[in-house]
Amino acid sequence: MNPRVLRWLLPLVLAVLLLAGWQALHQSLPPSRRFLLPGLPQLAGAFQVHGPALLVAARYTALAALGGFALAAVIAAGFSLLLASSGLVRATLYPYLMGLQMVPVIIIAPILILWVGPGAPSVILVTFLITFFPLVVNTTQGLLSVDRSHLDLFRMGRAARWQELLLLRAPAALPYFFTGLRIAAILAPIGALTADYLVGSSSGGRSGLGITALLFSARNEIPALYATALVGCVLGFALVAAVSGLSWLVLHRWHDSYSPSDK
């Protein structure tokens, strides 16, 4: 069969199989336990009932995730250039960078609320904290992983340090930056959702998927919880797809990961 068709067909076949398996699992449970794994009709019902509310919440979470993600990407790019500029800077700042990632979000969430207020600002800040680290680590790695021979070329050409950084290291780091972006794209919606759960504000209809999940959970609406989780997944997929598209635009002409012989 045409491999191009297969690339689309196989994931679809798997999706159908998974859904069938899900439904079979649901029906194999004793009726008293079936609420733990709602059947497909119940799920569809939950979407029908809560669809509009989920959409509003998803939009809110998506915007917060995007905000934190974009903020992290821009600051991480600058911060990585700083880290790559000297070993001394790296040795000085790296422990604190790791510390930033190790801060338990659950514990500092209430403090963040006090700092920047409840709702969107806190959610964006938490998303930023969660996505910043993988971005910086990958980008810095890329800035430092430059071909020895390319460095010789630039030294031969008596390049200034800024020329080496911007004309050689930065473009060489782009594939690494996009790897970081991809990881961050997966983490961002989860971060925004969790943050909303922890520090979100339900006042004035400005609540995201986290608050929504909290409410469903309190009301014991299991199918609606599943639906919420699914919407969260879709957000992650959408962001990853956007990053992949951007990565293709920037890299496909030259980077080996888009080599035509690979297709």
Which SS3 state, helix, strand or coil, does residue 207 take?
coil
Q: Cα–chain-centroid distance for residue 243?
A: 10
Nearer to another protein, 47 or 154 (CB): 154
Name the minimum Å distance from CB 159 to another protein: 5
Name the minimum Å distance from CB 176 to another protein: 13
Binding site for another protein (CB under 8 A): 147, 149-150, 152-159, 163, 167-168, 171-172, 174, 253-256, 259
Name the minimum Å distance from CB 173 to another protein: 11
Name the minimum Å distance from CB 181 to another protein: 17
Instruction: State the Cα–Cα distance between residues 110 and 84, nearest whole angstrom.
Output: 34
Nearer to another protein, 51 or 157 (CB): 157
What are the residues whose beta carbons fall under 8 Å from the beta carbon of 145, sequence distance 6 or more?
172, 173, 176
Nearer to another protein, 145 or 203 (CB): 145
Nearer to another protein, 7 or 155 (CB): 155
Contact 108, 95 (CB under 8 A): no
What are the residues whose beta carbons fall under 8 Å from the beta carbon of 27, sequence distance 6 or more?
34, 39
